[in-house]
Amino acid sequence: MHRPRILPALFLLLGLARPVLAATPPETLRIGVLAFGTLNWELATIQSEGLDQGRGVRLEPTPLASAEAGRIALQGGSVDMIVGDWIWVAQQRGQGADFSFAPYSTNHGALMVPAGSPIQGIADLKGKKLGIAGGGLDKNWLLLRALARQRDGLDLDRAVEKTFGAPPLLNQQLEQGKLDAVLNYWNPAAKLEAQGYRRVLDGHGLLKGLGVEVPVPALGYIFHERWAKAHPATLDAFLKMAAEAQRHLCESDAAWRRIVPLTQESDPKVQDALRRDYCAGRVVGFGPQEIRAAGEIYRRLGEVAGGATPAVGGTLPAGVFWTPPGP
């Protein structure tokens, strides 16, 4: 006679359980973000498009003053992830660190000159004033040096008058005539090109000149391998929502318009150039072929890096590129 009460009791039990499940807090992913970095575009798109809903992840952006500040923050444990290049990861792995890299973009930098410049190739840089984004171990600079040695027998490190600096400052100095050329990151280079400056060579051309035909991702998400193994669902969810954000920015004009203020550019030509080059850098495939190509690049960089600390070059350490655990 009391059996009918079982269903109401069961419904009551489920009703009590539902709030408990809903109250399970999402995992927080602390991600370091540069003020001028394109990661800002994706994080804003994730939020505006609701791509983080139901993922079980709460993104916590941490502003960074520079790429070096990001590395320090990651090493010190104040962030879980930054965007950077795999060459730094390889250097750190060679020193015993456990950083790993998940591909983000195939965009490299570019060598830019004024439209009327006599500089047509690397050999023409001899004796010129060259601005270089990043430091002496910037990947674009090392690649340019390697190609100059191979193609022209030129020691570019001695042949040019070098100025290392922040990307916006180098663009400004080129515009003021204080530099003959700049080797800058892809987004400042795109801005220059939209303003009429000429692209002599970009990262893809550098790689092809060195005999590497595979589009190896230059930038990626960097994190501790031990963190990734402890939070596989969080990492997987973030990588998926970031890829979706990239797709929205490249395929939806409305999504792009929403992040245009973050480019800090009012010129539509510059905005269009940024979107074009950003979308051209989307990673469409990554596997053993790209890893082998990265190994060849790393070996070649060692030929020009000299006594860098930590060392650059040689055999690419295992674990540089993140491999998700199998099912």
Task: Express as a percent the part of the chain with pLDDT over 70.
Answer: 91
What is the per-residue pLDDT across 94-147, written as a single tens digit (0 to 9) for each?
Answer: 999 999 999 999 988 899 999 999 999 999 999 999 999 978 878 889 889 999
pLDDT value of position 86:
93
Answer with the residue of higher pLDDT: 302 or 267: 267
SS3 percent helix, strand, coil of the chain, rounded to 5, is 50, 20, 30
Residue in the structure block whose two tokens are 């399970």: 24
Question: Residue 2 in 3-state DSSP?
Answer: coil
**pLDDT > 90? residue 6:** no
**pLDDT > 50? residue 1:** no
161-165 vs 99-105, strand pairing mode: unpaired
The per-residue DSSP string of 16-46 comes to HHHHHHHTPPPEEEEEEEETT-THHHHHHHH
- Angle (deg, nearest 10), helices 253-263 and 232-251: 100
Task: Express as a percent the part of the chain with pLDDT over 90.
Answer: 69
What's the whole-number mean pLDDT along residues 67-89? 93
**pLDDT > 50? residue 14:** no
**pLDDT > 60? residue 33:** yes
The per-residue DSSP string of 58-108 comes to EEEEEEESSHHHHHHHHHHTS-SBEEEEHHHHHHHHHTT--EEEEEEE---
Report residue 284's pLDDT band, with 50, 70 and 90 as the boundaries.
confident
What's the whole-number mean pLDDT along residues 219-235? 96
pLDDT value of position 176:
97
**pLDDT > 90? residue 24:** no
Q: Which letter does DSSP use for residue 223 in this model?
A: E
